[in-house]
Structure 1
Amino acid sequence: MAPPPPTAQPLGQRLVSLAQTLQFAWFVGHVTLLFSTLRYGLSYILFNFSSRWAKVSYRLAFISAAATYGIVVYKAYRARMRQGKQGGLVSMATDENVQYLGMALVWLFSRQIPLAILPFAVYSIFHVATYTRANLLPTLQAAPAGASPGKPKPSGISETIGKFVKEYYDGSMTLVAILEIALWFRVLGSALLFQKGSWILIGIYTVFFRARYAQSTFVQGAISQLTARADAQLANQSTPPAVRQGWETFKSIVRQAADATDIRRYVGGQTGGPGPKKAQ
């Protein structure tokens, strides 16, 4: 992430310098996504999700998501070009930012599924908080008289944001993983009801989710927890043997499918980190 402008400059000049960066456009995109999510959420709560404003808010949320992840992908691509590195299609497909960019575009042009917004919104909360702490607050904070130029001392607000991110990040990433699992079943339900385009959508989202499982320890942990709970429930003596057998068969099929589609076979065993990659 680019450093904030020097505090020795006038406030107006610092703000102009900050606003001229591509990183600031990334920040604005995440803020727009959050406001759009809140506006759409209000319409949903009031059972007015088919209104014009609800539709605009929903689409704007995914336009903002596509813009933010597009900026990150572009910056990463430009950095690789400067270093003379050219990744292939498989290498690009393993980039989490490329995956989320692709899904943002898919949701943008698909029928409304409110649950699809929430993972992007959770990510945006932490992206906005991190940028505010690292760039916006230092830019607004004037250097004390006689102080040497450099990074200003963190304010109380900055420290509060830092504590918030540190305390809630892991739990929120687990929440995102659970939301993405729930979203898969939501899309599967649409496919079973033969809603228009749902089978194509479940195929695309399954590929995306398979990549998330390979790269995110949070997704892996959430699936393990949910599987353990299901095992405990079905272990009850009152559960019909046919149901337990069906559950074991389902798990076996899923494991075989996961092994057959392990993307690490094609990229030399490298995977991403446990959380969303931050823009640099």
Structure 2
Amino acid sequence: MATPQHYIWAGGHFILLLSALRYILAWVTFKAASPWWYKASYTGALVSYAIVCQKSLGVPQPNLAWAQRALADENVQYFLLAFFWWSSKPVAMSLLPYTIFSLFHALTFTRTTLMPQFLPPGPPATAGGAPTPPPLAKKLQAWVKANYDPAMKVVAYTELVILVRVILGALVLRNSFVTPIAYAHFVRMRYFQSAFTKEAAHRVTYAIDGYVNKPDTPPAVKQGWVTFQGLVGRWTGTSLPARTAPAAGANAAAR
């Protein structure tokens, strides 16, 4: 039986999903979108992620150990990032990862909580056994299972694109210079915690290496890329993979 807290969590995701789709639709069609939809999207995110963080971490404790555990939690990271986006100048692209997450959460809540209340159950799997979930719920479960990993890969690449977007945005004064710094730190944490992000970073690195190492590439570009890799390596405490293995090697490294 779903608890009121579970319904509030799901409500946050539905608010995020519907508001974000409204804002993103206006963005991709080059129409003016009310900032209200942007704020509503991240308000839904804050509600949902606050509940998840409270359930996983409990009541906040005024000590270093709790703070370290909280900051290492990916739900806390996405909660803090949602608050940052909520309080900053809108960056429409930033909604895409949250929208994808909310889509899967909303579909799962619909399958496990809403459908059994409104749809007739399926026939028992065995004679005299308990009824099975509604057939539509089974189809929805299969779709979610088949598409979850591809969607998480899309999220990983999208987050890298957002990083480029906010860096360029800072240079042309479309967002603050704090934004790329804060977001780069977030991506750094995702690199160490998410196999999808690590794989995406490796594949992008291999692709750039392949372009930079062409014979006709200017030496300045090659040196700039080497310098950039060195800076990123010192900042992250690791080295970006060199172009010494096929792209499949990135999959192995990510796993």
TM-score range, shorter chain: 0.7 to 0.9
- Please say if residues 141 and 152 of structure 1, whose CA atoms lie closer than 8 Å, have aligned partners that are also in contact: no
Structure-2 separation of matches of 1:38 and 1:97 = 22
* 2:53–2:76 Cα contact (<8 Å) kept: yes
Aligned pair in 2 of structure 1 residues 144, 157: CA closer, same or farther (>3 Å)?
Answer: closer
In the alignment, structure 1 residue 27 sits paired with structure 2 residue 4: no
CA distance in 2, matches of 1:134, 1:27: 12
Q: Helix, strand or coil: the match of 1:88?
A: helix
Superposition RMSD in Å: 2.8
2:122 counterpart of 1:139: no
- My pick for the range that moved more, 40-49 or 230-239, is 40-49
The correspondence for 1:171, drawn from 106, 125, 150, is: 150
The amino acid across from 2:13 in the alignment is H
Q: Is the 8 A contact 1:138 1:152 kept in 2?
A: no
Distance 1:193 1:61 in 2: 26
Please tell me the residue identity of whatever aligns with 1:241.
P
Match of 1:183 among 153, 159, 162: 162
Gaps of 5+ in 2: 124-128, 239-253
Q: Which has the higher contact order (CA 8 A, sep 6+)?
A: 1
Q: Which of 199, 209, 212 is the aligned partner of 1:231?
A: 209
Distance 1:95 1:29 in 2: 20
**Which position in structure 1 is the counterpart of 2:221?**
243
The percent of aligned pairs where both chains have the same amino acid is: 32
- Note the C-alpha offset of 1:77: 2.8
1:194 Cα offset (Å): 4.0
Q: What is aligned with 1:12?
A: none
Query: CA shift at 1:49, angstroms?
Result: 2.5
Per-residue deviation, 1:215: 0.4
Q: Does 1:67 align with 2:47?
A: yes
User: Do the aligned partners of residues 151 and 183 (structure 1) sit closer, same or farther apart at CA in structure 2, a change above 3 Å counting?
Assistant: farther
1-structure distance, mates of 2:84, 2:232: 24
| Pairing 1:88-237 to 2, within 5 Å after superposition | 88-141=66-119, 152-195=131-174, 198-237=176-215
Aligned residue-pair number: 236
Q: CA deviation at 1:122?
A: 0.4
User: In 1, are the aligned partners of 2:43 and 2:86 still within 8 Å (CA)?
Assistant: yes
> Tell me, what secondary structure is at the counterpart of 2:30?
coil
TM-score by length of 1: 0.76
Q: In 2, Cα distance between the equivalents of 1:153 and 1:87?
A: 45
What letter is aligned with 1:61?
Answer: S
**Cα shift readout 1:151-196 (whole Å, capped 9, x = no counterpart):** 7402221111111111111111011011111111111112223456
Alignment of 1:8-23 (within 5 A): 18=2, 20-23=3-6
Q: Distance in 1 between matches of 2:197 and 2:35?
A: 30
What secondary structure sits across from 1:34 in the alignment? helix
Shift of 1:134: 2.0
8 Å Cα contact 2:111/2:140 also seen in 1? yes
Task: Report if the CA contact (8 A) 1:49-1:55 is conserved.
Answer: no
Residues 1:182 and 1:143: Cα distance change in structure 2 (over 3 Å): closer
